[in-house]
Chain A
Amino acid sequence: MTDVTTEPTGEDTATDVTEAPAVDLDREGEIAADFLETLLDIADLDGDIDVDVDGDRASVSIVDSDEGRVPRRLVGADGKVLDALQELTRLAVQAETGVRTRLMLDIAGFRADRRAALVKQAEEAVASVKASGERVELEPMSAFERKVVHDAVLAGGLTSESEGAEPRRYVVVLPVG
């Protein structure tokens, strides 16, 4: 019998390997916005769509509009519905452009809030490691969330690494030396 271990591929930065040069991020955002706008219209749901570019990704957000709030069921428990809608939106963009996209979708600031909470958590871990000289292990997170934490730890002047196997892979904040 073969012993199958799911060894993580090392990098936490998800899928950056397949990046084609000169992706038109504005165009990706526009296609995504059209796709989502039509969906909201059909379902008769409130919400405005913001399109932006965040670093090397197109970033699309459905936000509350003057007419009413985006229904929170579009985010779902732990952002499950949001993740599903992001997946479908990426596929719709890819179907148009023929190129893989790493577009991020947010709804009602869910990811922004989550990101802020992760940064706070990272900063607290950094403070604790600096005070005690002991490593601190955080709870399991998705690759994207771990990336946010790694960046925040680095900004706080320490280093971190990921341990464990998906989907229970977690960040460890390391003491200096």
Chain B
Amino acid sequence: MLEEALEHLVKGIVDHDGDVTVRRANGRRGGDLLEVRVHPDDLGRVIGRSGRTASALREVMRALAGGKNIRVDIVDTDRR
């Protein structure tokens, strides 16, 4: 559910919604890690000015996870 919810939120705010993927990985410190990948042109949108959009995504995802430890990583695919 959480991956799907995050994917929906991110797809809503980007231009290239076909390029959005969310992958669940096991975080090192326990808890879930959700890795978001978007089209390079959309990276700025998902992060937002001073990281404002990324913070909003994390805030909402934490609420949806209901107190479960969850991390959201926006992967910069440009630098791979």
Contacts and interface: CB of A to CB of B under 8 A. Distances in A.
Contact of B59 (A39, A43, A84): A84
A88 B8 contact: no
A83 B16 CA distance: 25
Identify the interface centre among B14, B15, B62, B64: most chain A CB within 10 Å of its CB: B64
B12 interface: yes
A76 interface: yes
Given A35-B12, A87-B53, 20 more contacts: A39-B8, A39-B9, A42-B4, A42-B5, A73-B63, A73-B66, A73-B67, A74-B63, A76-B63, A80-B59, A81-B60, A81-B63, A83-B56, A84-B57, A84-B59, A88-B53, A92-B12, A92-B13, A95-B14, A95-B15
A93 to B, nearest CB: 9
A51 interface: no
A35 B60 CA distance: 14
A81 B59 contact: yes
Interface string A74-90: 10100011011101100
Chain A, interface SS category? helix
Contact of B60 (A38, A85, A95): A85
A39 B5 contact: yes
A76 B67 CA distance: 11
Given A42-B5, A42-B8, A43-B1, A88 B63 contact: no
B66 A88 contact: no
Contacts of B5: 39, 42-43
Interface in B23-78: 45, 48, 52-53, 55-57, 59-60, 62-64, 66-67
Contacts of A73: 63, 66-67
What 5 pairs across the A-B complex have the smallest Cβ distances?
A92-B12, A84-B59, A84-B56, A91-B13, A81-B63
Contacts of A42: 1, 4-5, 8
16 contacts: A42-B1, A42-B5, A43-B1, A43-B64, A81-B59, A81-B62, A84-B55, A84-B56, A84-B59, A85-B60, A87-B52, A91-B12, A91-B45, A92-B12, A92-B13, A95-B45
